[in-house]
Amino acid sequence: MEKNVAKTKAWKKLASHYRSIKDVEMRDLFASDPKRGEKYNISLETLYLDYSKNRFNDQTMQYLLDLAKDADLHNKIEAMFTGEKINTTENRAVLHTALRNRQSTPVYVDGKDVMPQINAVLAKMKKFTDAVRYGDFLGYTGKKLTNIVNIGIGGSNLGPVMATAALKEYWAKDIKCYFISNIDGSACEDVLSQIDPETTLFVVVSKTFTTIETLTNAKTCRKWLVDALGEYAVSKHFVAVSTNAKEVSKFGINVDNMFEFWDFVGGRYSMWSAVGLSIALAVGMENFEKMLDGAYEMDNHFRNTPFSVNIPVILGLLSVWYNNFFGFHCHGVIPYDQDLRYLPSYLQQLFMESNGKSVNNSNKFVKYDTGEILFGGAGTDAQHSFFQLLHQGTQIVPLDLIVPAISHNEMGEHHEILVANALAQGEAMMKGKTVGEAAEELAKAGKSAEEVSMLKRYKTFRGNRPTNTIILKKVDPYTLGMLVAMYEHKAFVEGVIWRINSFDQMGVELGKKLALNILPELRGEQTKEHDSSTSHLIDLIRKIRK
């Protein structure tokens, strides 16, 4: 049985330390240490983290590192990498790291090395993606398949959506990618109205091949294809990422075109597996493997680097510091790159599904906060959306500012203006603007004493708001792999500190089960016992639909 983290010596030391540092201004930390920005940064190949604009000092960091040691983080990391069943509620290993184990070092689950089967699927993916991209695998009418439609939901959608958008500059010139996830019929209609059945390949991603949203969408797309080309076209225009060969075959898909993934890979960690088939079709297997290479580099860094200079560990500990001691329960991710615009949505699932838990590993309800509400958007759009609250609102939200130094599209001054905005936001969040500074600025602008008195508070920024700045050389497959793996390991660190299982998602189940009860009632069956609100809403919608 694990110790209650809130009762450990390390936690209590942090609580006491918090009381002495909670009002310290980052301005003062920088003033007292002119080299603070050079001191608190870590580089890993093409990725650079500056975490100096955070509310901590050396003593804070030592206490946080003690917290990691107290949680046995080092051994927990080893347990994950070596195939121990750390997903305790489902009795499963957690081996997304094995999917990008580029040295194929043996990893055993139940005494069996999983690397041969992982490498076999990667080889199968390469053979198939090459065949599609080079025109050796053609559609039913003999045309090249250039429209790739991924049908999945959750991790089977968010990872491929994010990565294909991030790597748009690496797509084959004749390839277009589309995604259908929402059960809303408009999601199917939006895609089907844009594509030609003769040149379309559907990738149906469902481990069990029973996920209601995915299978409903897949059946709608199947009917659309059959109406256009006939029943025999299905096997030439549909492939599956699944383990249920019986249902895949029943659907009409050739099981030779079924790509397997495993129970030791959770959905939100699965884009490194055959779930990433649509990514590989778009950018080529060579670039997909470069993404695996980048993730592997971050894996080795996380596993082998001392915690004091370990990027995911530092990021995870800082989030715990803010969430549990300052009460900052939100975290923003702002990529200053249009191609990374879907990264915040991807990370929402990663963090909120992983660590949105209220029962610890000792089967006890926790009495401290877990998880963090993650949101974000692409800079500079986000600056004109929700940054008003971040600068002057009463809620303090720590931020990650992600900045590629080089753009794929260096048009005039665009990228320099973009980078200037990113760096300025970090400085503004930290420094703010005092009432005195605002008054002086207004006076210099020619405002009267009365106007200065009236406006100076409105022009004040409290500052002292934390940011991490993550500099990337460029958004390429390798760097994207590093970046995503960094966030995966950050979520793991948080879960270990909080003593929760970051790898199940039982909170997803209840609403889905209740939906299956309500569905026949919407179709006309007698309404069963619900609360009065739900019963009334069912009756109302039935009447409207009639």
What residues contact 288, with CB distance under 8 A and at least 6 apart?
125, 129, 276, 279, 280, 477
Residue 322 DSSP symbol: I
Element (H, E) at 400: strand 399-404
Given a cut of 90, is residue 528 above it in pLDDT? no
Contact 279, 288 (CB under 8 A): yes
Pair type for strands 41-44 and 399-404: unpaired
Chain segment 155-195, per-residue pLDDT in tens? 999 999 999 999 999 999 999 999 999 999 999 999 999 99
Contact 356, 172 (CB under 8 A): no
- The pair of structure tokens assigned to 336 is 């200053």
Pair type for strands 108-109 and 112-113: antiparallel
CA 208 – CA 316 distance, rounded (Å): 33
CA 263 – CA 253 distance, rounded (Å): 22
What is the average per-residue pLDDT within 222-240? Answer: 98
What is the percent of the chain with per-residue pLDDT over 70, rounded to a whole number?
100
Per-residue pLDDT at 512:
86
Chain segment 328-374, per-residue pLDDT in tens? 999 999 999 999 999 999 999 999 999 999 999 999 999 999 999 99
Mean predicted lDDT score pLDDT of the chain: 96
Neighbours of 348 (CB within 10 A): 17
Chain segment 11-20, per-residue pLDDT in tens? 999 999 999 9
Per-residue pLDDT at 526:
84
Per-residue pLDDT at 1:
67
Chain segment 54-63, per-residue pLDDT in tens? 999 999 999 9
What is the average per-residue pLDDT within 144-152? Answer: 98
Position 237 confidence tier, pLDDT thresholds 50, 70, 90: very high
Given a cut of 70, is residue 504 above it in pLDDT? yes
Chain segment 102-128, per-residue pLDDT in tens? 999 999 999 999 999 999 999 999 999
Residue 196 DSSP symbol: -
Per-residue pLDDT at 509:
87
Quote the Cα angle for 46-49-53, to 5°: 155
CA 507 – CA 419 distance, rounded (Å): 39
Position 529 confidence tier, pLDDT thresholds 50, 70, 90: confident
Neighbours of 384 (CB within 10 A): 10
Per-residue pLDDT at 15:
97
What is the average per-residue pLDDT within 119-140? Answer: 98
What is the average per-residue pLDDT within 314-320? Answer: 98
Of 321 and 526, more confident: 321
Chain segment 31-56, per-residue pLDDT in tens? 999 999 999 999 999 999 999 999 99
CA 109 – CA 334 distance, rounded (Å): 38
Per-residue pLDDT at 460:
97
Given a cut of 80, is residue 523 above it in pLDDT? yes
Chain segment 262-309, per-residue pLDDT in tens? 999 999 999 999 999 999 999 999 999 999 999 999 999 999 999 999
Quote the Cα angle for 51-357-365, to 5°: 120
**Which are the catalytic amino acids?**
353, 384, 512
Per-residue pLDDT at 546:
85
